[in-house]
């Protein structure tokens, strides 16, 4: 099995390269889902948990007191702690519309998010629309191939077709939001939500696997939200997830 940094040298997309490289150098495959609704909470999480993560994932539209300063501060903390910013916007419209949603409006996502994601449902035009706004800024796109929620419509055929769309767009698509590894192409980064230290679910359809199960299914990055942010000591909890994710990766690498 290639290491993250070996894979990094093979990738053309600068964001994919940077992410795989930083995961190995920082020894973390943990992404924090910072699903909180105020500026101060996001920045506090980013500063305190920043040293443990490779990516912070935001839902910028849930922040009640959003302003441009939040983005500037988040970028500063990303530099300080060496992590990337992933805006989990889940674009899902025609190319012309998502392009505006990506670069315009209040959030101007293209200006600050290294990584965004999109549903493959609308077909390849969604990638073309996002690429026109993002590639010149050296951004990367993840396609949602499989969702973690119970009853999701993302079956095997859907995931396979999503993979084919990604293969046709290797310059901009850097991987997938998925529950497992979808392809042997070392440049595709598999990112998996629905992760907690014990298997379970929430009351609204979310389903959880452990870090070890996710990494053993071939994923590269584990996304953890409430498992960390709802814990009494989020920093201590983040360290646990970081260790669990990294140990599972090292074990797989050494078995090879």
- In the complex with ligand S5P, the residue whose CB is nearer, 57 or 131, is 57
Question: Where are the alpha helices (H) located in the chain, listed in sequence order?
Answer: 4-8, 14-26, 39-49, 68-81, 95-103, 125-134, 156-167, 211-216, 226-229, 234-255
Please indicate if the annotation marks 123 as binding a ligand.
Answer: no
How far apart, in whole angstroms, are the C-alpha atoms of residue 99 and residue 134?
A: 9
Rounded Cα distance between 197 and 213, Å, is 10
Residue 93 appears among annotated catalytic residues: yes
Kindly indicate which of the ranges 66-74, 106-114, 131-139, 219-227 contains the residues binding ligand S5P, using the contact rule CB under 6 A: 219-227
User: 21 burial class (0-12, 13-18, 19+ CB within 10 angstroms)?
Assistant: middle
**Rounded to an integer, what is the distance from CA 126 to the centroid of its chain?**
18
Chosen residue from 35, 41, 73, 93 binding ligand S5P by CB under 6 A: 35
Task: Report the DSSP beta bridge partners of residue 141.
Answer: 116, 173
Q: Residue 226, annotated ligand binder?
A: yes
Among the listed residues 90, 137, 161, 239, the single catalytic one is 90
Among 224, 238, 244, 248, indicate the residue that binds ligand S5P (CB under 6 A).
224
**245 binding ligand S5P? (CB under 6 A):** no
| 56 lies in the site for ligand S5P, by CB under 6 A | no
Could you say which of 19, 20, 30, 33 contacts ligand S5P (CB under 6 A)? 33
Q: Are 134 and 141 in contact (CB under 8 A)?
A: yes
Check binding of 227 to ligand S5P (CB under 6 A).
Answer: yes
* Cβ–Cβ under 8 Å, residues 8 and 189: no
Query: Interaction with ligand S5P in 79-98: which residues (CB under 6 A)?
Result: 88
Residue identified by tokens 């849930």 is: 62
- 88 is a catalytic site residue: yes
Q: Which string of x and - marks every residue 126-155 that binds ligand S5P (by CB under 6 A)? A: ---------------------xx-------
**Residue 61 appears among annotated catalytic residues:** no
Active site amino acids: 88, 90, 93
């Amino acid at each position: 099995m290639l290491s993250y940094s070996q894979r990094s040298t093979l990738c053309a997309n600068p964001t994919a390269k940077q992410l795989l490289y930083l995961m190995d150098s920082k020894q973390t495959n943990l992404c924090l889902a910072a699903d909180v609704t105020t500026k101060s909470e996001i920045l506090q999480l980013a500063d305190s948990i920043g040293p443990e993560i490779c990516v912070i994932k935001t839902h910028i539209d849930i922040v009640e007191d959003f302003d441009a300063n939040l983005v500037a501060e988040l970028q500063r903390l990303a530099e300080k702690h060496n992590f990337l910013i992933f805006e989990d916007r889940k674009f899902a419209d025609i190319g012309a519309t998502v392009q505006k949603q990506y670069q315009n409006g209040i959030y101007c996502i293209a200006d600050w998010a290294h990584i965004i994601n999109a549903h493959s449902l609308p077909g390849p035009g969604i990638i073309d629309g996002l690429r026109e706004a993002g590639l010149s800024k050296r951004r990367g796109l993840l396609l949602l191939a499989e969702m973690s929620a119970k009853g999701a419509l993302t079956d095997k055929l859907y995931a396979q077709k999503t993979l084919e769309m990604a293969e046709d767009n290797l310059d901009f698509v850097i991987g997938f939001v998925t529950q497992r590894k979808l392809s042997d192409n070392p440049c595709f980064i598999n990112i998996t939500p629905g992760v907690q230290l014990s298997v379970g679910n929430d009351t609204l359809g979310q389903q959880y696997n452990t870090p070890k199960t996710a990494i053993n299914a071939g994923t590269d990055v584990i996304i953890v939200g409430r498992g960390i942010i709802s814990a009494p000591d989020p920093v201590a909890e983040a360290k646990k997830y970081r260790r669990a994710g990294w140990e599972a990766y090292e074990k797989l690498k050494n078995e090879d």
